[in-house]
A = this chain, B = another copy of it.
Amino acid sequence: MATKSTTVQANALWQKQPKVNSELFALTYGALVGELLRDLEKTDLIQSELDRMGHSMGIRSAEEFLARSDMNCKNFSDTPEVLKMALRMFFGVAADTRSKSDDSMFSVLFSDNPLTLFVELPDEYETLEYSQLLAGWCRGVLEMLQFDCACKVEQSMLTGDAVNEISISLNQVLQEGAGEEYQEE
């Protein structure tokens, strides 16, 4: 899978997407997190709710992505490129990936995070993984590609890290063909 043509295709897909202003998205996401804070109060509950929402968005995004791109993702080693392309197509994010010594793991790295535009976390919420939705989204996308993965926010520029990092770790390959029906839509 040639990285250059992937980037070209990602940009072409991105051009064709209907879009809205990132600031509006960030403010809407902020309102959603605010509602969850009011409603659920506990950080771990809020985070698992954001993760769940992201997961269901990721599944929809992957359906769309598979219908529109000619990407073929048979092996886990293809997923870093696919995730990069999908992040560009849906979030407008230019991400990089970093492989790890263990082939069943890698990291997604990016600096511009559209979820956190204008966001400053009050001290009392410093343990909240504000961008958990993105990790859930990656999990949903990968699941549709038949890879059951754990996706975790490892670093966040919102809390002072130098980069945003989501780690991806393969739990198991789901039943073969589970993702393929969507490629034929």
Contact between chains at B24 and A18 (CB < 8 Å): no
Listed residue (A24, A25, A36, A89) with the most chain B CB atoms within 10 angstroms of its CB? A24
A-side interface residues toward B, CB under 8 Å?
17-25, 27-29, 31-32, 35-36, 38-39, 53, 56-57, 60-61, 64, 89-92, 112, 114, 117, 133
Alpha-carbon separation in the docked complex, A29 to B30 (Å): 11
Contact between chains at B60 and A21 (CB < 8 Å): no
Contact between chains at B24 and A90 (CB < 8 Å): yes
How far, in Å, is A57 (CB) from chain B's closest CB?
5
Given A39-B38, A39-B39, A20:B25 Cβ within 8 A: yes
Copies of the chain in the assembly: 2
Contact between chains at B23 and A90 (CB < 8 Å): yes
Contact between chains at A21 and B18 (CB < 8 Å): yes
Q: Which residues of B are found within 8 Å of A57, using beta-carbon distances?
A: 24, 27-28
Q: Which residues of B are found within 8 Å of A91, using beta-carbon distances?
A: 20-21, 24
Contact between chains at B31 and A92 (CB < 8 Å): no
For residue A27, which residue of chain B has the nearest CB?
B57
Given A35-B35, A39-B35, A21:B17 Cβ within 8 A: yes
